[in-house]
Amino acid sequence: DTEVTQTPKHLVMGMTNKKSLKCEQHMGHRAMYWYKQKAKKPPELMFVYSYEKLSINESVPSRFSPECPNSSLLNLHLHALQPEDSALYLCASSQDNPSNEQFFGPGTRLTVL
């Protein structure tokens, strides 16, 4: 299996909702990433997990909470989001560090009303 999968594909939520994004890979990769991408912009790194430990948090607001239950799964818990958080949320994985190819999931298109 050489794919990163993400669910859901689309998500619409209100500012008071709590929801979670899920990401899964079965390539044995030990680094996993969450990115946020706005239209016509490059992906913006949010979090990096290396060997299931959070290694980078790019000053992301606490309304985004990552979780890595095991080496194959990565979650992003969302709470009290703002309309400006609407974006494409991409998960990626790589063997161990960014000096190896990052494989991206198809993304979750999030709309916050």
Q: In the complex, which residues of this chain contact other proteins (CB under 8 A)? A: 31, 40-43, 45, 48, 50, 55-56, 90, 97-107
Cβ distance to other proteins smaller for residue 50 or 72: 50
Q: E strands, 8-112, where?
A: 10-13, 18-25, 31-37, 44-50, 53-57, 64-70, 73-79, 87-94, 103-104, 108-112
How far is the C-alpha of 7 from the C-alpha of 89, rounded, in Å? 10
Cβ distance to other proteins smaller for residue 79 or 104: 104
CB of 56 to other proteins, least distance (A): 5
Cβ distance to other proteins smaller for residue 4 or 112: 4
